[in-house]
Amino acid sequence: MSPKLKRVSSIAVTATVLSVVAGVQGSGAIAQIPIAIQSEPTPQFVSEPVVQPLPTEPADEAASQDAQADAEAPITAETLAALVEAQPQPAELSDEMRCLAGAIYFEAKSESLPGQLAVGRVIINRSKSSRFPDSYCGVVYQPSQFSFVRGRKMPRINTKSRDWREAVAIAQIAHANSWHSKVEGALFFHARYVSPGWRLTRMARVDNHIFYR
């Protein structure tokens, strides 16, 4: 082959190669050829604390139940005096309990504890009878029933005195019916130095009062 022919052939081959390369670029196929192989990202795990409530221990439940039972259990004592001493002294009294304690205070503060309890039981028995008002205050303030009541009011009470603390305790005991009185069921009483001539069933004398039903 002559030198001129070889040069022409070489030029033709080069042109063919350039044409092929240009055609590949124009088709977009080259974009699908990965330039480099990238590794998958390493998973990152974040540890977070999980807080769960601890189960209640059986011993804690038992202690809680015992405490609740103690709070709900009635106060017991071997004597009325001991029961009076065991009664809590509330910071405030309801109107009903104040009426009951007030009647005990004014009618029997100079009496023995059983005598005070007997008066308290009469107030309560009347409130449960259809013959009288259905509340302690209604019974106490019923006209012409208790001599200490003046104009539907009680005299001033010395709430710092032992007599008042006893009256409150007796009122709580009578209200809860936590001590038996020898005049259970009594609806009436009067001082022993008067004789009203009532045609009622006499039950008993307790200190300076006589009780009837």
Render pLDDT for 73-118 as a digit per residue (tens, 0 to 9).
567 778 999 999 999 989 899 999 999 999 999 999 999 999 999 9
Q: Mean pLDDT score of the chain, rounded to an integer? A: 78
Given a cut of 80, is residue 68 above it in pLDDT?
Answer: no
Burial degree of 165 (CB within 10 A; 0-12, 13-18, 19+): middle
Q: 205: which strand partners?
A: 210
CB atoms within 10 A of CB 154: 17
Alpha helices in the chain (DSSP H): 3-27, 58-72, 80-86, 95-108, 113-127, 136-140, 162-176
Q: Is the dihedral of CA 212, 121, 83, 62 positive or negative?
A: positive
Residue 21's pLDDT is what? Answer: 38
Instruction: Read off the pTM.
Output: 0.65
The mean-pLDDT minimum among 22-31, 48-57, 188-197 falls in 22-31
Closest CA to 145 of 130, 123, 125: 123
Strands 202-206 and 209-212: antiparallel
Render pLDDT for 131-167 as a digit per residue (tens, 0 to 9).
999 999 999 999 999 999 998 899 999 999 999 999 9
Fold held by 77-182: Arc Repressor Mutant, subunit A (1.10.10)
Which range in 10-14, 26-30, 51-55, 119-123 is most confidently predicted, on average pLDDT? 119-123
Q: What's the rounded Cα separation, in Å, for the pair 102 and 149? A: 10
